[in-house]
Amino acid sequence: MKRTQIKDALQSTNYNNPITIAGWVRTKRDSKGGFSFIELNDGSSFQNIQVIADESIPNYTSDILKLTAGCSIAVQGTLVESPAQGQSVEVKANSVSVIGLADPESYPLQKKRHSFEFLRQIAHLRPRTNTFGAIARVRNALSFAIHQFFQDNGFFYLHSPIITGSDCEGAGEMFRVTTFDLNNIPRVDGAIDFSQDFFGKSTNLTVSGQLEAEIYALALGNVYTFGPTFRAENSNTSRHLSEFWMVEPEMAFCDLQQDCETAEKFLKFIIRETMEKCPDEMAFFNKFIDNQIVETLGHILNSPFEIIPYKEALAMLQKANVTFEYPLGWEHGFQAEHERYLTEELVKKPVIIIDFPKEIKAFYMRRNDDGQTVAAMDILFPHIGEIVGGSQREERYDVLKNRILELGLHIEDYWWYLELRQFGSVEHAGFGLGFDRLVQFISGMKNIRDIIPFPRTPQNADF
RNA sequence: UCCCCUGUAGCUCAGUCGGUAGAGCGAGUGGCUGUUAACCACUAUGUCGUUGGUUCGAGUCCAACCGGGGGAGCCA
């Protein structure tokens, strides 16, 4: 079907010319004057278009009067200026063909507000609502902005593997990948014989593309991954998913300071782009989801991020006259309440904490000269806490090897990671951004399960 | 995994002291109207999450289980 998207029809001034549109009926109002108003949405924009259908259309009584929310129709007609308030253009229909009916007695979406918990149970229909349509378009705009930023700044998009044989990712519980018959698992002396499994070894779904990104950064310079990531943690919160999307840039010839600068530039670019591309969606979120969100985002765009070493941030929190539920201490790290107090009350803008105690950070982060801290950074946003975590990577062979041994990790698993430090090693750095959490933040939505189209969480993999 | 809350009509919820169930929205029918969260009138909603227990009697009290939500931890 050749059709005009409603997004384009609404912006057109090509009045009194033929137009074909198609979409799903949001609501219909009948006039006994012999015509009906149909609010039609095709997903191309937040806005509906109003269709005027009158009784001169042959199937007016048989079809049009029976239309209800959820029906799909195609309309041929004329784009006209609207004589009434509320919309500038509308479509005067010459013909309306019903493509698919939706029985109002059983169609779950009503012309009223539904709870997000209810909509989660009908994930196949929820994208037809204002909120979930808006989220899908914001997700798209944000994805595109991410690619645009990196492509414009000399990064290559890297497809890091989904299935990994590395045991050394160490970022949480992993999902096993196997083709074994679970009722008959091959064993040798009681132990599972992975040599008979599909890959001839134990494999899992990736928890991070960072280590692979380092490989390519040390060949192409700047790369980024943007793909799904899997964590088998039994965490049941509004901020966790078992399957989520992560962005991980990695840059060669780059230290922690440049890493922070890039991350700040990156975040500001993708937020600004998304706000500019989705004004209707942002206005909706600000009105119905979180009436602070546009202000909060504007504040972030206009504030230089404040870089504070962990040691100083700790001192600031200890000096603050506040009782926290969890104790503060060099070795404790910061809890969510500490992070939020720091960025919301003490600094009142985004904060980048750097130089963390080495004990609370990963083995691959570069040891600082003080011997106590590593060149790590966390970016904290008001109201949400950590949005980005990154570091300069340890590029010195001996230092990295000693750290792996010190932590009792299996050194043989890291042979290729260590070889990168033996052959043309250079300083490099990167960071990770939880994509869904950023969508959550930008939209003001409370639960990450309402941010991703089909959430996977413990005990839930429906649709 | 731990703590707290919750489960009643299609949806959102009320239901007092234990006495066999209610509202709004949605739906249907009729009326009215260039309407736009339309409006007005009327009509029908039901295994009160499941199982068991206490009681003359349980939506209500007790126990277990199941589902949902919030918070914490882990993290992105």
Segment A234-247, tens digit of pLDDT: 888 888 899 999 99
- % residues pLDDT > 90 (chain A): 63
Contact assessment for residue A137 and residue A281, using Cβ atoms and an 8 Å cutoff: yes
What's the pLDDT score for residue A335?
Answer: 84
3-state secondary structure of A169: coil
Q: Do A72 and A131 reside in the same domain of the chain?
A: no
Residue A188 lies in a domain: yes
Render A288-309 in DSSP notation, one character per residue: II-TTHHHHHHHHHHSPPEEEE
- Is the CB atom of residue A313 positioned under 7 angstroms from any atom of strand B? no
Q: Do A147 and A197 reside in the same domain of the chain?
A: yes
**Which of A's residues 246-285 have CB atoms within 7 A of nucleic strand B?**
246
**Which of A's residues 105-144 have CB atoms within 7 A of nucleic strand B?**
105, 108, 110-112, 114-115, 117-118, 120
- Is the CB atom of residue A379 positioned under 7 angstroms from any atom of strand B? no
What's the pLDDT score for residue A169?
Answer: 52
What's the pLDDT score for residue A79?
Answer: 94
- Per-residue pLDDT tens over the stretch A168-205: 555 568 888 999 998 899 999 988 999 999 999 989 99
What's the pLDDT score for residue A167?
Answer: 63
- Per-residue pLDDT tens over the stretch A400-429: 999 999 988 888 889 999 999 999 999 999
Region of residue A103 (phi > 0: left; psi between -120 and 50: alpha; otherwise: beta): beta
- Given A100, A118, A143, which residue is the final one in a domain? A100
Render A177-200 in DSSP notation, one character per residue: E----TTS--EETTEE-GGGSTTS
Question: Which nucleotide minimizes the distance between its C1' and the CA of A103?
Answer: B27
Residue A331 lies in a domain: yes
Output the distance from A232 CA to B74 C1' rounded to whole Å.
11
Using CA atoms, how far apart are residues A300 and A270, in angstroms rounded to an integer?
A: 12
Q: Do A341 and A418 reside in the same domain of the chain?
A: yes
ipTM score assigned to the predicted complex = 0.86
Least confident of A109-113, A165-169, A349-353, A436-440: A165-169
Q: Do A189 and A312 reside in the same domain of the chain?
A: yes
**How many structural domains are present in chain A?**
2
The residue type of A369 is D
The domain that holds A382 is classified in CATH as 3.30.930.10
Question: Which nucleotide minimizes the distance between its C1' and the CA of A116?
Answer: B69
Q: Do A39 and A132 reside in the same domain of the chain?
A: no
Structural domain boundaries, residue A21:
6-100
Q: Do A315 and A359 reside in the same domain of the chain?
A: yes
Tell me which nucleotides of strand B come within 7 A of a protein CB: 1-2, 10-13, 25-28, 32-38, 67-76
Q: In the predicted model, is pLDDT for residue A112 greater than 90? A: no
Q: Do A394 and A277 reside in the same domain of the chain?
A: yes
Using CA atoms, how far apart are residues A74 and A96, in angstroms rounded to an integer?
A: 6
Contact assessment for residue A440 and residue A387, using Cβ atoms and an 8 Å cutoff: no
Question: Which nucleotide minimizes the distance between its C1' and the CA of A83?
Answer: B34
Residue A371 lies in a domain: yes
Better-scored residue on pLDDT, A379 or A105: A379
- Per-residue pLDDT tens over the stretch A9-45: 999 998 999 999 999 999 888 887 888 999 999 999 9
- Is the CB atom of residue A30 positioned under 7 angstroms from any atom of strand B? yes
The residue type of A385 is G
Using CA atoms, how far apart are residues A217 and A376, in angstroms rounded to an integer?
A: 18
- Per-residue pLDDT tens over the stretch A299-339: 999 999 999 999 999 999 888 878 777 788 888 888 888 88
- Is the CB atom of residue A32 positioned under 7 angstroms from any atom of strand B? yes
Q: In the predicted model, is pLDDT for residue A227 greater than 70? A: yes
The residue type of A105 is E
Q: Do A152 and A197 reside in the same domain of the chain?
A: yes
The domain that holds A57 is classified in CATH as 2.40.50.140
Q: Do A17 and A151 reside in the same domain of the chain?
A: no
For residue A93, what are the CA distances in angstroms to A66, A109, A418?
Answer: 16, 26, 69
What's the pLDDT score for residue A168?
Answer: 57
Question: Which nucleotide minimizes the distance between its C1' and the CA of A87?
Answer: B36
> Where do the H-state alpha helices sit in A249-335?
256-277, 279-284, 293-302, 310-319
Using CA atoms, how far apart are residues A280 and A298, in angstroms rounded to an integer?
A: 16
